[in-house]
Structure 1
Amino acid sequence: MTSVFANAEQLREAVGKPLGATDWLLIEQERVNQFAEATGDHQWIHVDPKRAASGPFGGCIAHGYLTLSLVNFFLPQLMRVDNLLMGVNYGCDRVRFPAPVKVGARVRGAGEITAVETLANGALQVVVRVAVEIDGSDRPGCVVDTISRYTFNPAP
């Protein structure tokens, strides 16, 4: 279920509270191959199932940056900010890849707002920590602090 925020106060009140988790997404070899094609990263641990079967992970794994890019897919499922004049992705902090995501695994995003700051121009900077959880694993495939900036519509 998507958490919906209509104003700055609601975002501030949500700091430290879980946003929940998204539905599971199956990581298929085709997605990994398409990412390899888009980025030019054709390392065998990602795209050669036969060789990867006898490699360190027992099969192909998703690129770390593919796993990170899924955060952009999961964020709108975790939260929505309404009444905006503008919202922008400002960047990321603390990107980590604690566990490999094997092809055939299911992943989902789980989030929490960790900080909300009012900027000098009146915009709000919101940090959301997203963990890309792996079904059946104690460790996530990726954890990242996303940073977004929101400017709300002026009050009527």
Structure 2
Amino acid sequence: MKLQDLAGKIGETLGTSEWMTVDQSRIDAFADVTEDHQFIHVNPEMAKATPLGSTVAHGFLTLSLLSKMLETAVEKPQVAMSINYGFDKVRFLSFVKSGARVRGHFRLLEMEEKRPGQWQQKVEATVEIEGETKPALIAEWIFQHFG
């Protein structure tokens, strides 16, 4: 897909990812990498005694899964290079309990040619939790594409 073609798709859904399981081993590995070992993430017995009822994924773990979700949901544009430029907005709306499955929905919000050969794209990313009505998160994700 050419970047110019995306400019005509503002407001449209770009795709939905495959389901991904967020199991305890993934949560534990993320805790190790980030050194965030809060008990609600890594101690099933203690977490069971909270109103959550089980361990939950770190919000940043769920956010970090967006890259893989996008890869399975959206056709990559034909460019020399794309970079993650950041987020305008991120909201964590629901907990992702250990063992839950999540997937991403991606909708194009903006597509602007900043200079010849350089485009900036903003995508609304919503992470759905299987069987839940409220999403895990909603974010406005910005990319820059070159050539």
1:147 and 2:142 aligned: yes
Q: Which residue, 1, 10, 13 being the options, matches 1:15?
A: 10
DSSP 3-state at the match of 2:99: coil
What one-letter code is carried by the residue in structure 2 that aligns with 1:98? L
Q: Distance in 2 between matches of 1:34 and 1:115?
A: 35
What one-letter code is carried by the residue in structure 2 that aligns with 1:126? Q
Per-residue deviation at 1:123? 0.6
Partner residue in 1 for 2:35: 40
Per-residue deviation at 1:121? 4.8
1:102 and 2:97 aligned: yes
What one-letter code is carried by the residue in structure 2 that aligns with 1:22? S
Q: Distance in 2 between matches of 1:132 and 1:126?
A: 19
Q: Distance in 2 between matches of 1:33 and 1:9?
A: 42
1:120 and 2:87 aligned: no
Large movers: runs of 4+ above 6 Å: none
What one-letter code is carried by the residue in structure 2 that aligns with 1:65? F
Q: Distance in 1 between matches of 2:129 and 2:78?
A: 34
Per-residue deviation at 1:145? 1.1
Q: Which residue, 67, 74, 77 being the options, matches 2:69?
A: 74
Unpaired runs of 5+ residues, structure 2, are: none
Q: Distance in 2 between matches of 1:131 and 1:52?
A: 26
Per-residue deviation at 1:122? 3.8
Number of aligned residue pairs: 147
1:138 and 2:133 aligned: yes
DSSP 3-state at the match of 1:139: coil
Report the RMSD for the aligned CA atoms in angstroms: 1.2
DSSP 3-state at the match of 1:100: coil
Asked if structure 1 preserves the Cα contact closer than 8 Å seen for 2:3 and 2:77, the reply is no
DSSP 3-state at the match of 1:96: strand
Unpaired runs of 5+ residues, structure 1, are: none
Partner residue in 1 for 2:106: 111
Per-residue deviation at 1:15? 1.1
Identical residues among aligned pairs (%): 37
Partner residue in 2 for 1:90: 85
